[in-house]
Chain A
Amino acid sequence: MEKKELVHTIKENLTRLPLSFGYLGAVKEQEENSNYNGISYKPGTVAALQTNAEMVGYVPKPISRFIRPVAAFAAPIPTEPTHQPTTAANTTTIDPQKIFTLFACCIPVQGASRSLICDVQRQHFDFIPNALYQLLTDNRQDSLADILEQYGADNATTILEYYTFLTDAEYGFWASPDELALFPPLSLDWQAPYTVTNSIIDWDDNSHFDIKQVITQLDELGCAALQLRCYSHQPLSFFEDVLLFTKTTRIKAIDLVFPWFQGLSSMDLVTLAEQYLRINSIVVHSAPFTDYIDDINNRLTRVVFTPEKVTSEHHCGLVFADYFTLNMSVFTESHHFNSCLNRKISIDKQGQIKNCPSMTQSFGDVAITRLREVLDQPAFTSQWHITKDAIAVCKDCEFRYVCTDCRAYTQGFNDPLGKPAACQYNPYTATWETAAGEEPAAWALTANEQNA
């Protein structure tokens, strides 16, 4: 049925229909005006967004009792709060007997010189001083009155500013003492119904193992995500053959990485992605041009052309702010497992089974050894359990649960518990040792990157 026709029928008969239909007609009219064909639309959304943007400028400053000697809090301290109180909670006076409670999905993470509030629901983080971290953890059961008394009158303004910042950003709310017990913390448990969650298969001109046979084994292990990475030219039919084969497997997301070749256009790959819905991304390296197409199939599927050359497995191990991911799965998994290697099994271009193609240790030739046998070897799975909390420097870093790890290239002569060699962040000074020296001040993923 045509939508217009339906809405017309409803409108024509409004007073003969139940009242609830009357609203249906009205809402739909609004939608038509706004050219919006999906779910209900109300103009309020835009206003809410603006409020959020205004708030980003505010940086909580340290309170005197806790000021740390060094540049404890790297960002400049504003003399005046840059935001305007917006929500009802801020315009009314706070009951001093109430207790500020973080929403369970907003979790503070302490670093050596500053902390983060990680919002796993909205996939965003903000920097906070360690003093505020302490307020949100040690003092989490204290009423506002108790806290103001404890920290003294000279800190009152700053503390109230903190709470305005936190309530404006909707990181928490004011709970009565009775309510406190109703809001348990988020479980940081991580589980997955897959023996292997992700896999990398490398391929070049000299590779001769049976990819389909590997995929069949991965399917048996429940592998959800697969990256097929090629260093040398392969025709599209090579990928189509593999994609067709994955159609009846449990593999849900496929990333293709391969070099550009003469005549390959963005549209060819968009067509491919439309045909094979399991494709999550296609990255074409060594391309003579740059292109980025996303939102294919109305999903997060994307096609990327980059001039960067990926000629071997050594093109990996980068740890950079662009690679930060903040979501429930990554955040919780990083608490218990290695954020790169957990439940990963890879096949390098020679057909060697490894944790990651960049690592040196092989656990057998895929032509001879079954993947399941490798998973039984403690030397293989022990890599899965190296958390950031066990790694030098990383353990003091506020980014430890949003950052990806690398065990292939580490500092200290490839110390198994060394900091990733390519990481340029120093958590003790809160500085990036990059050319630009920049950091993601108010960092948030765009909607399209969020679930990538």
Chain B
Amino acid sequence: MEWLLAAGKPVVRLNECDKMTAFTIVNGKAHLQFFQLSTQQTITIDTDAVTMFWFRKRSFNLQQWIGELFNNADIEQYIGREIGVAASYLHYLLSQKPNLAVQFTASMNKLVVNQLASALGLQIPDYIIATRKEELAAFLEKHNNDCITKAISETFFIQVDKGFVVSYTEAAHHKDLAAYGDDTMPILLQKKVQKKYELRIFYLHGTCYSSAIFSQNDQQTQVDFRKYNYTRPNRTVPFALPAAVANRLHLLMQQLKLTTGSIDMLVSQQDEYIFLEVNPIGQFGMVSEPCNYFLEAKVADYLMAAF
């Protein structure tokens, strides 16, 4: 954002806390009005005047119209659908502009992405999703009781009174399954890869900016490096991704119709490159800062070139 301002391009940043107070959609154009919390000012946006768009996460704040106003679930759901279609159209209008990411591609089915990656010759870890305990137990057996479990969709993240509660990727063992009945909720188990280091790659329009994270030396970060050790952060250094891997990632991103995304990979003890996932609206600060890549400037350049 600062880089765009430095280039003399006016930018509006909308946070989720900036409540939409009015909108008009007429003849394929929209006029939006927000109350910006940080400046305590009302701002207006004409979609026609928008030259580029970057969707980072979440969506418009529609609390003005959505909420428990009627004490009736059916009516509230109906209102939700009404506003939902209008909001989705606003996203559609903005997605027609040069952009870095749009809401429509913001969430990916991880299982589909896995399959596409595998078809392109990227190695993926062996996994199972099952609802029968015996099948899950057999999978654990096959992999010497050395597996991990994680969310099939997105990480469970919820704000509570004091901070937040979040689910991480965790090691899974036989004894953990013991408490379950024969039939379970769908559970994902994945073979645990003995990793040398993790790769966090920011993909931008054909280029992979890669970093290697030495999370293996620290117990706290061994299974999930997002359990950051703030006092002794994991070593994160620039990484020269082999061209063969970068090319496959590029093909994958093209198939997914993504111009940008954060890609997670592992390098195993046997030097295998193992693909984990793509986050289309991932952060890039944690690649950019430790590697001194100035990705913020590159993202701004990309947006300005597109415009």
Q: Which residues of A contact B (CB under 8 A)?
A: 1-3, 6-7, 14-24, 27-28, 37-40, 42, 44-45, 48-49, 52, 87-88, 103-105, 121-122, 170, 173, 178-179, 181-189, 191, 193-195, 222, 247-248, 250, 328, 332, 447
Contact = CB atoms under 8 A, between A and B. Distances in A.
B263 to A, nearest CB: 16
B231 A1 contact: no
A182 B231 CA distance: 27
Given A21-B167, A23-B167, A105 B235 contact: yes
Contact of A193 (B161, B169, B214, B297): B297
Given A181-B240, A250-B2, A20 B291 contact: no
B185 interface: yes
A95 to B, nearest CB: 14
A184 B228 CA distance: 24
B189 to A, nearest CB: 8
Contacts of B218: 44, 48
Interface in B212-254: 212, 214, 217-220, 227-233, 235-240, 242
A121 B235 contact: yes
Contacts of B181: 15
A186 B220 contact: no
Interface of B: 2-3, 5-6, 39, 41, 149-152, 156, 158, 160-163, 165-170, 172, 176-177, 179-181, 184-189, 212, 214, 217-220, 227-233, 235-240, 242, 271, 289-294, 296-297, 300
Nearest to A36: B163
A293 to B, nearest CB: 22
Contacts of B163: 3, 37-39
Given A18-B186, A44-B220, A332-B292, A447 B231 contact: yes
Nearest to B156: A24
Contacts of B291: 104, 186-187
A117 B290 CA distance: 17
13 contacts: A16-B185, A18-B152, A18-B187, A19-B184, A23-B176, A27-B170, A42-B219, A48-B232, A103-B235, A121-B235, A121-B236, A182-B240, A248-B41
Nearest to A88: B217
A22 B187 CA distance: 11
Contacts of A185: 238
B161 A1 contact: yes
B149 A23 contact: yes
Contact of B179 (A15, A20, A178): A15
Given A19-B177, A22-B176, A186-B237, A37 B3 contact: no
B214 A24 contact: no
B293 A187 contact: yes
Contacts of A27: 168, 170
Nearest to A176: B271
A87 B240 CA distance: 26
Contacts of B161: 1-3
B240 A40 contact: no
A189 B295 CA distance: 12
Contacts of A104: 237-238, 291
Given A20-B188, A191-B297, 13 more contacts: A6-B165, A18-B149, A18-B184, A19-B149, A19-B177, A20-B156, A22-B176, A24-B156, A28-B165, A45-B231, A48-B229, A103-B235, A193-B5
Given A3-B160, A23-B167, A170-B217, A121 B149 contact: no
Contacts of B217: 87-88, 170
A38 B168 CA distance: 14
B27 to A, nearest CB: 33
A42 B168 CA distance: 13
B219 A40 contact: no
A3 B162 contact: yes
Nearest to B136: A19
Closest 8 CB pairs between A and B? A3-B160, A193-B6, A23-B170, A44-B219, A193-B2, A104-B237, A37-B162, A193-B3
A247 B39 contact: yes
A187 B297 CA distance: 15
A105 B158 CA distance: 34
Contacts of A40: 166, 168, 227
Given A42-B220, A103-B237, A20 B6 contact: no
Contacts of A179: 271
A105 B172 CA distance: 34
B304 to A, nearest CB: 13
Contact of A189 (B188, B236, B294): B294
Nearest to A48: B232
A52 B217 CA distance: 13
A248 B242 CA distance: 45
B222 to A, nearest CB: 9
B2 A18 contact: no
A180 to B, nearest CB: 10
B232 A184 contact: no
A103 B214 CA distance: 10
A1 B166 contact: no
A2 B163 CA distance: 10
Given A19-B177, A40-B168, A222 B292 contact: no
A39 B168 CA distance: 11
B294 A105 contact: no
A7 B156 CA distance: 13
Contacts of B289: 328
A182 B39 CA distance: 46
Most buried by B among A28, A48, A179, A332: A48
Contacts of B179: 14-15, 22
